[in-house]
Amino acid sequence: MISIKVMGAGLPSVNDRTAKVVAFFVLFGFCALCMAHPEDELCHAGTGVIDPQLCALLAEMDRTESALVQEEQDELLAVFEAQRSFMGNLIRYVSVGLGHILPGGLDHILFVVALFLAAKNLRSLFWLITTFTLAHSVTLALAAIGTISLPGRIVEPLIAFSIAFVALENLFADPTARWRTLIVFVLGLIHGLGFAGFFGELGLPQGLFFSSLIGFNLGVELGQFAVICVLAISAALLIRLLRTLAMPDKYQQYVVRPASALIGLIGLYWGFERLLSVG
């Protein structure tokens, strides 16, 4: 009997447990009230409101606290921007450049399609795309650092007319003419100014300008490369289909010329539309 009483004395009674649970919830509720905004409970609309001056003071304290929290968040964001690595920022702007082309850069995509249709073989396609890439990279860099600048109301119509020019040239001139590469280079300079206009509106992080510029340009080139891959696969399938239909020499007639005519009309429409919107 004695041992049983000793063992039982070490166990808390039901009343002790209940008291501890109640004490825990009381303490928890007190802490929650301390961290809450008292004006939410005491300064509501209607009757039974406490001293209005006290309510105004509590509301002002709440606003001050929110402002301090926002200020701390802004400081943390600034520190994050400053400490972001070169490679991390470059990868971020690769994504931005890629998104600018796919799916947003329809005018740039149509220009690349027109160049693809103009190419007679892989070698000519390589030189046309390389020339265009070099040209728009040059003006993108120069415009980004402020060396050159043209307003969008001039650049945007020129981009549209450049699409029409290349597409219609596929219809009325030999795409392998000796001046073709030079023409593509000049038109590429115009497209680079268009890229620069978008790039300048991004709000670049301080101290990471060059990684942003390089990343954005790489993203543009990746988007351009993806378009060319899709075009190459589509062209191969169409050529195979024409061969199956015993029309292996009809690619120019049934694909290149109609597609170039359609792209040319779209470019002209965009060009005049942008001119009229400027006026």
Task: Give the global pTM.
Answer: 0.67
Percent of the chain with pLDDT over 70: 66
Q: What per-residue confidence (pLDDT) applies to 261?
A: 95
The ranges assigned to domains in the chain are: 2-82, 89-278
Look up residue 225 and give its two tokens: 């490369």
pLDDT surpassing 60 at residue 38: no
Largest CA distance in the chain: 115
pLDDT surpassing 70 at residue 33: no
Mean of pLDDT values over 162-184 = 83
pLDDT in tens, 106-142: 999 999 999 999 888 888 889 999 999 999 999 999 9
- Bigger pLDDT: 213 or 27? 213
Q: Residue 86: pLDDT band by 50, 70, 90 thresholds?
A: confident
- Bigger pLDDT: 2 or 15? 15
Percent of the chain with pLDDT over 90: 39
- Bigger pLDDT: 208 or 95? 95
Q: What per-residue confidence (pLDDT) applies to 71?
A: 64
Q: What per-residue confidence (pLDDT) applies to 248?
A: 82
Mean pLDDT computed over every residue of the chain: 78
